[in-house]
Amino acid sequence: MTKTNKCSKNDMENLLLQHEAAVMEGILESRARYRKIVQAGIAKWIGDFQKGQIEIKTVDDLKKLIELDIELQRDD
């Protein structure tokens, strides 16, 4: 009996599914970390605004942070 290094079609499909699942898990973990960073940025911006360190004319930074947070939530 001769052994070969060939995988069955079923084995290949399982390997592909495992790889895709691992990639998706990595993406979701990264997205969760980025959301924490964005949320910390929003909290810092609000704190600085409340302390009077930020004027209304700089609200664009907050807008960008909120938009990024919404985008990161979109696929959750």
Specify the pTM.
0.62
In this predicted model, what pLDDT tens digit does every residue of 14-40 receive, in sequence order?
A: 999 999 999 999 999 999 999 999 999
Query: What's residue 33's pLDDT?
Result: 93
Helix axis angle for 59-74 and 9-50, nearest 10°, is: 160
More reliable by pLDDT, 64 or 59 = 64
Contacts of 41 by beta carbon, 8 Å cutoff, 6+ apart: 65
Instruction: Note the helical H segments in the chain.
Output: 9-50, 59-74
Query: What's residue 40's pLDDT?
Result: 93
